[in-house]
Amino acid sequence: MLVRDKRGFTMVEMLLSVSIWFMLCVTLLPQLMLIITERKNTEIFNIGTQLLSEELQKEYNGEPSLNHLVKYGVTYTFSKKFNEVLQKSELCVTWEDKLSKTYERCGYLNGE
pLDDT for the residue numbered 23? 93
Q: What is the mean pLDDT of each run of 10 residues along the chain (112 residues)?
A: 68 90 92 92 90 84 78 85 81 87 85 52
User: In this structure, is residue 30 part of a structural domain?
Assistant: yes
Domain that holds residue 101: 11-109
pLDDT for the residue numbered 51? 87
**Residue 26 phi, psi (nearest 5):** -65, -35
User: In this structure, is residue 24 part of a structural domain?
Assistant: yes
Sequence-separated (6 or more) residues with CB below 8 Å from residue 93: 48, 51, 52, 55, 76, 77, 78, 104, 105, 106
User: In this structure, is residue 1 part of a structural domain?
Assistant: no
pLDDT for the residue numbered 53? 86
Query: What is the three-class DSSP state of 104?
Result: strand
Q: Would you say 55 and 66 are in contact if contact means Cβ atoms under 8 Å apart?
A: yes
CA distance 77 to 96: 10
User: In this structure, is residue 6 part of a structural domain?
Assistant: no
User: In this structure, is residue 32 part of a structural domain?
Assistant: yes
Q: How many structural domains comprise the chain?
A: 1
Task: Give whole-number Cα distances, 103 to 40, 74, 106, in Å.
Answer: 14, 12, 10
User: In this structure, is residue 73 part of a structural domain?
Assistant: yes
